Amino acid sequence: MRIAQLRPESNCILSIIADDGRIGKFDVSPYLEYEAFEGLRDSAEFAKVVNGGYFVEWECGADLSADTIEARWQVVGRAAPQTPT
C-alpha cells in the first residue's frame, strides 16, 4: 500500500486514503506505550505527522510503515475514482 493522503484526527487517529482508493482509520494510541511514541501523547505533536508514501513519521522520530498501517487499519470506504482532465 502507498499512502496517497493523510490527515491526523483527534484521539490519535490517522485518516488515510490509499493509492488504490481505500479510505481507512488507523488508531495510533496502542503505540503510545512505547518510548519512541511518547511524544505523540501531545496532540500538537501528533498533528505534525508527515506522509512519506510508504511510511508516516513525526518530528519526535516515531514512524510507522504503510505495511503496519494496512495490517491494522479499519477500512471505512472507497474514494470516488478520479476522472482524467
Residue 48's pLDDT is what? 96
CB 29 within 8 A of CB 77: no
Nearest to 18 by CA among 71, 65, 82, 66: 66
Annotation: CATH topology of 3-78? NE0471 N-terminal domain-like (3.30.2020)
Report pLDDT digits (tens) over 1-46.
999 999 999 999 999 999 999 999 999 999 999 999 999 999 999 9
CA distance readout (Å), 38 to 7, 15, 66: 20, 20, 20
Residue 18's pLDDT is what? 97
Report pLDDT digits (tens) over 44-64.
999 999 999 999 999 999 999
Domain segments of the chain as ranges? 3-78
Residue 26's pLDDT is what? 98
